[in-house]
Every structure is written in structure tokens, then in C-alpha cells.
Amino acid sequence: MPAELWAIGLVISATLVGSFGPILLKKASAKKLSKISSLMKNYHLFGGVALYALGTILFIPALKGGDLSILYPFVALTYIWVSLLSVKFLGEKMNSIKWLGILFIIIGVSFIGIGS
């Protein structure tokens, strides 16, 4: 069954929401994590895990709208979102090799979409 447009949109939304998870986990890693009490107060840690979970929860209903072999490659968009969000929120730098990688991801996901 070809993927319905709403399912593709939901998967893309899920990847965007879920990609904020690693950003918050990176921020959480900067804090002291040696004691249980410090873990309990690490809101970035809980936020990162929650956003990962929310992205997964959004992905599940999208599976009703198309084949897994079509929808799952869109999960690769997470790498793009994380790269861009890392620049914005963590001050990381992008070089030409990273931009080339993003281009290849876009091309690959496009081939999946065209082939369905």
C-alpha cells in the first residue's frame, strides 16, 4: 500500500519532535550525573527522554497510513534535524562533509518517496 500523505507528514513531525531529545540529552550530559539526587533534578535528561518517547508515539499511528518500507526511511531525517539543531542550540559547527551527508540523506529519502 502506498503511503498516505498524512502518514508521511506525521513521520516527518515525529522525527522533528524526537530530534530535540538528543539536544536535551547533550545538555543533560554537561551536568553532574554521579548521584541519584542529581539525576532526579536533571530536567534536560527527563525532557530528552520524553521527547524521544513522544517522537516514537507519533510514529506509531503513522504506520497505519503506509508500508513500513516506505515510512521508515524518513526516520533518517532525524540526522538532519539533529545536525541543524546542534548548530542552533549547542553552537556546533557544520563543515562541507557534514553538509554533503545531509544532501545524501535528502537524496536517499527522496528516492524512497519517488519509488513508492
Q: What is the pLDDT of residues 78-97, one digit of tens each?
A: 999 999 999 999 999 999 99
The range of the structural domain enclosing residue 26 comes to 5-115
pTM: 0.85
**98: Cβ–Cβ under 8 A, 6 or more apart, which residues?**
83
Question: Each residue of 56-78: pLDDT tens digit?
Answer: 999 999 999 988 988 998 999 99
Number of domains in the chain: 1
